Amino acid sequence: MLGGNGFIGSHLVDALASSGAWVRVFDRAGSQRHQVVRGVDYRYGEFSDHATLAESLADTDLVIHLISTTVPGTANLDPIADIEGNLIGTVRLLQQMRDVGVPKLLFLSSGGTVYGNTEMSPIPEAHSRNPLSSYGIVKSAIESYIAMYSTLFGLKSLVLRVSNPYGPRQSHLGVQGVIPTFFHRVKTGDQIKIWGDGTNLRDYLYISDLISFIVEAVRLDLNGVFNVGSGQGASVSDILQLVSEVTGVDPVVEYLPARRFDVKNVVLDVSKACAALQWQPKVALREGCELYWRWLNQRGV
């Protein structure tokens, strides 16, 4: 698992290891989010470090690729670094997997950015991809290269266009993840900053629902492209209201001008994912917020 010590990766390592799967993690460093998991084979290196990466691929049946060297809000600042780090890095990974003989790739794409602004809501997988941001352009190009490697060389692949996952261990530094950021700001008494008027709809998915989908998809060797989200839209103002209700605090908010590369609304049509695995998101948004707030208070700031 590439990026196995990140937010999503660490939860997935826990789940796969406890299901009895043999797991190797490749990440740039140990995790500050959770403990080392017993029985897991940890390897450390940069995504750009070909030799270490190639060694880590040996004797694996599946590569789960969760590495992103950028986040949606900052990738536009240096699109060339985004292309070099993520797109070229992943194409090199595809070549290495072919050389080493790894038959399958699971790639986490971005349901929130690959479609761009759409007239349709919720958005099905067959919708055209018109990304507005470097982050989305690179994710979309990676998806195309994976499809090309499938066609040319028979690579098996599962591409998950994940909406906005949230939950414990997620970064709350304000570059990604509205929910952790808002809760954290309330806890520290800082002001909350919102780009735009707060009406943009997003599709928030609690981390355990994402993990249950991935674990089941791995178990059943699912292939193809799937949206993975709650299928429900919530606005930033809705989140603010929930944060206020869950914490009992009325947060101080500063509204900043909307960012032009932010997609207006993204709610995913997840019927394909539900049908493929008899899967359903179980944790409602309020419950997920309560779980996150409880975790944040247990853990300290």
> Locate tokens 């140990």: which residue?
30
For position 34 contacting a copy of itself by CB under 8 A, the verdict is: no
For position 40 contacting a copy of itself by CB under 8 A, the verdict is: no
For position 71 contacting a copy of itself by CB under 8 A, the verdict is: no
The rounded distance, in Å, linking the Cα atoms of 93 and 100 is: 10
Query: Interface mask (CB under 8 A) for a copy of itself, residues 149-168, using x and -?
Result: --xx----------------
Listed in sequence order, the DSSP H helices in the chain are: 7-18, 50-57, 79-82, 89-100, 134-153, 178-188, 207-219, 236-247, 271-277, 285-299
Nearer to a copy of itself, 133 or 181 (CB): 133
Q: Which of 128, 109, 33, 22 is nearest to 65 (CA)?
A: 109
Among 261, 272, 276, 279, binds a copy of itself (CB under 8 A): 261
**Which uninterrupted H or E stretch holds 226?**
strand 224-228
For position 13 contacting a copy of itself by CB under 8 A, the verdict is: no
The rounded distance, in Å, linking the Cα atoms of 62 and 266 is: 30
Nearer to a copy of itself, 21 or 83 (CB): 83
Nearer to a copy of itself, 142 or 234 (CB): 142
Pairing of strands 234-235, 201-202: antiparallel
| Site size toward a copy of itself, by CB under 8 A | 31
The rounded distance, in Å, linking the Cα atoms of 149 and 153 is: 5
Interface residues for a copy of itself in 107-126 (CB under 8 A)? 126
Query: Can you give the binding site for a copy of itself, defined by CB under 8 A?
Result: 76, 79-80, 83-84, 87-88, 91-92, 126-134, 136-138, 140-141, 144-145, 147-148, 151-152, 260-261
